[in-house]
Amino acid sequence: MTFQLVLVLAVLVGIVVTLSTDRLASDVLALVVIVVLLLAGVLTPEEAFAGFSKEVIVILAALFVVTGALRETGAIDMISQRLMKHARGTSTQMLFIFMTIVAGVSVFMSNTTVTAMFIPTAEGIARRLRLNPSRLYIPLAYASILGGTISVIGTSTNLAVSGYLSKAQHNPIGFFETAPVGLVLVAVGIVYVLVFGRFLLPNRDEENAEADTRTYHTEIIVMSSSLLMGQRVTESHLVDLGITVTRIVRGDQILDSHPNVCFEENDIVVIEAAAETLLKVRAFRGIQLRAEAEKKNAGPHGSDQHEAEALVAPHSRLLGRSLKEANFEMRAGVAVLGFFREGEALPGMVEEVALEVGDLLLLEGSSRRLSLLRKDWGLSVLGEVGHGLIDTGKAPLVVAIFVAAIIVSSLRLVPTSVAFLGAALCCVLTGCLRLGRAYEFITWKLLILIACMSSYGVAMEKTGAAQFLANGIVHVLQPLGAVGVLSGLVFVTIILAPYLSSSAAALVILPISISVAHTMGAHDRPFEIAVMLAPSISFIAPLEPSFLLIYGPGKYRYSDFVRMGLGATFLLALTLIILVQWIWPLHG
């Protein structure tokens, strides 16, 4: 064994230990690895930084921008609500429909994005079925992750593996090459949740399940074109979003949110919602925040518009006065989008409430206007909440751009990188997404990790470390044949995935699996596909980004994921191993 081979193996152990103990951020660790390999002479600068020029980096960055535009224009929220519009039935039927829809959307989007966009829908379904949301969040994450196994763009891991294979002179993964396996994995995952979920999914009591989120009071106006028209209060799209309706002002009447009350044109609806959810209301056709509808100096919004929370301080000029009495919006040049008071229901309309110390206002205005609030009004601006106004009028355009990119890419009319880079440019050039916001949506941490781990894979091959490990695995598992070796690699990848991240685990094991295939005289493809998909069935720990998104809202414990995930992971792994060697034979 050479010094360089020992060093590369030692670095592998260091990667696993460091990431599993969370002592260093994964992207920082990846850069440290590259520097160590450079200083030791294992890699040349060209080899070390070649990963940053890979096609997969361009594809991922472009996808981040396009999905950012989908979110920014409110298209994602509109899509999720329309998809669930006609979903009715028992809890089992609703869960089946919900997971199927989520998996379908995840075929074309990052599973993390899909999980985030469907959390409000899951909460709305839970309200309709009178279930605790903790019963739906884990199925949501399962469906989004498994749906990503159907296409090459469904997860960043698939793209990373495809890019690595292309660079290593192997055939890249086809757009829907994994669809036969992915569809079965989705079906198995849904059946597992429906059969065992009723016993294994946690059911937190209301006290534990209640979200630690401030709910702002505000008023919206129902317009003639609204989807709310004719809907019952308790079965409306507002409920799906997790919004609570407290009362309806209809002319001179004040109506409570009775289940049989239906929305009508020009209703002023008093609602409660978290700040981020409240801002999404503007993404729905025919619904307008009253504060915006009645804005003084009406006209087009400038680009410098921000939403921020402001606290009423002890010496504020607003103490004991209502917003209407102080003519606050006109004089301060901002719009009041919502009002929050700890532990109290809204006694009247927002603009008529006498303000007290500790009250919070959700405001919208220019940077300059917001910066003057402390000096002029005694308000402490706590921080920005949103990212400017949502231009819902461009939502169809963004969807059309995204669909076009998928079509031309899947038909191989142009390379995937060109299709999605062009889509990202179209989103920016058409004004669907500001250039500054486009850069904010790119997850640079993941791009650095993928680029550096790709270079580490080169080091493993160059020093013979991959072949050394392959020989070791073959030696231990060879009595079980190629199927046994394939199974061993799948389970090793599954175990590593939560701690190394899905992309890192796949990229670490991939060169080893290719060397194993060559050593055993087997075809590469089944090993490549199996290692690529293995991280997407690793449900043994809540460390995947999609799981982290639901961990807090569901008030879960670590043991909840282990109890639910062990059986699911084993069943899915068995399914994966059987299907891979059937569709891509190991020999012959």
**Residue 288 in domain:** yes
Q: In terms of domains, do 282 and 219 share one?
A: yes
Residues near 374 by beta carbon (within 8 Å), at least 6 away in sequence: 380, 381
Identify the domain boundary among 351, 384, 417. Answer: 384
Residues spanned by the domain of 287: 215-293
**Residue 317 in domain:** yes
**Residue 252 in domain:** yes
Q: In terms of domains, do 282 and 329 share one?
A: no
Q: In terms of domains, do 377 and 312 share one?
A: yes
- Total number of domains in the chain: 2
**Residue 549 in domain:** no
Kindly give the residue spans of alpha helices, DSSP state H, lying in 107-171: 111-129, 134-147, 156-167
Please give the chain's pLDDT, 588 residues, in tens: 788 889 988 988 887 777 656 577 767 888 898 999 999 999 999 988 887 887 768 877 887 888 778 777 767 666 655 655 555 567 788 889 899 999 998 998 778 777 766 776 777 677 667 778 888 999 999 999 999 999 988 888 898 888 888 877 888 898 899 999 999 999 999 999 999 998 899 876 543 434 445 688 888 888 887 878 888 887 777 776 678 888 888 888 888 767 678 888 888 888 888 777 777 676 666 787 877 766 644 444 455 677 888 888 777 889 889 988 999 988 888 888 888 887 666 667 888 888 888 788 888 888 788 888 878 888 877 666 655 444 557 888 888 998 888 788 767 788 878 988 999 999 999 988 888 778 877 878 767 877 887 788 778 778 888 777 767 777 788 888 889 999 999 998 888 787 666 887 788 888 888 888 888 889 999 999 999 999 999 998 776 778 866 776 777 887 888 899 999 999 999 999 999 999 999 987
Q: In terms of domains, do 266 and 315 share one?
A: no
* Residue linked to tokens 């709910």: 215
Structure confidence at residue 565 (pLDDT): 94
Report whether 374 contacts 318 (CB < 8 A).
no
**Residue 559 in domain:** no
Identify the domain boundary among 293, 316, 334. Answer: 293
The enclosing domain of 234 has a CATH number of 3.30.70.1450
Identify the domain boundary among 266, 293, 320. Answer: 293
Q: Region of 379 please: left (phi>0), alpha (psi -120 to 50) or beta.
A: beta
**Residue 76 in domain:** no
**Residue 41 in domain:** no
Report whether 473 contacts 479 (CB < 8 A).
no
Q: What is the pTM of this model?
A: 0.59
C-alpha distance across the termini of the chain, in Å: 34
Q: In terms of domains, do 289 and 227 share one?
A: yes
Structure confidence at residue 208 (pLDDT): 41
Structure confidence at residue 380 (pLDDT): 78
What does the DSSP 8-state code read for residue 380? E
Q: In terms of domains, do 222 and 286 share one?
A: yes
Q: In terms of domains, do 282 and 326 share one?
A: no
- Report the C-alpha gap between 474 and 517 in whole angstroms: 9
**Residue 78 in domain:** no
- Report the C-alpha gap between 550 and 561 in whole angstroms: 11
Q: In terms of domains, do 319 and 371 share one?
A: yes
Report whether 318 contacts 360 (CB < 8 A).
no
